A = this chain, B = another copy of it.
């Protein structure tokens, strides 16, 4: 049994609490939030506190707070020589105070507050300073996920950056499509199955192989028509840049 204390009350902290709570190999020792009202509804399920000095001994402390607060919180911990990890994709492992053993426990997923999450399929990328601390963190990750990856700091940086492309930027393309359809009185809903299928397609096929459309075919007539259709200059810029990007990839 691995005992864990969670520090923070955001989406990641909430989802971790839920999955640990139903995982036999893991017990949640304590949950800390500086704002106790955020977690008080869980007080019958888990021991809660808003005082770092009250933190009891646990095998692993997971700091799941905003990136900017990680260093400060790790410095404020009233103990040393225990395993302390953060969950951020972009904060260095060295930002954790060196009085404790340090690690990173980075679940590569987008967490919404209410959406159900199946942790078994969420990649968990782990890092430790010193090999000794690795097996325990790995056991914790494997208790909740089938996809555990040992990575190094550079690889985490790369993943975090690539995630911005496939998550934030992709979502912004959905947004632009929403703007385009809305402005012509067309239901955005009609595009939803295509959105889902586009994401499913690359689960088994490389994005290179999955590509289709006017840019890949270098279908100048359609591209010209589309550019004429777009009224918003900003949408035009995106169309041009990504059309050229596809052409480049496919040697057009």
Chain A positions within 8 Å of B, measured between CB atoms, are: 67, 90, 108-110, 112, 115, 121-123, 125, 147, 149, 151, 154-155, 157-159, 161-178, 180-181, 184-188, 190-203, 205-208, 210-216, 222, 225-226, 229-230, 234, 237-239, 241-242, 245-246, 248-249
Contact = CB atoms under 8 A, between A and B. Distances in A.
Contact of A208 (B161, B178, B203, B239): B178
A112 B159 contact: no
Contacts of A192: 202-203
A198 B125 contact: no
Nearest to A164: B213
Given A155-B185, A229-B157, A246-B172, A110 B201 contact: yes
B110 A212 contact: yes
Contacts of A212: 110, 167-168
A112 B206 CA distance: 13
Contacts of A174: 165-166, 170, 202, 207, 210
Nearest to A89: B222
A201 B115 contact: yes
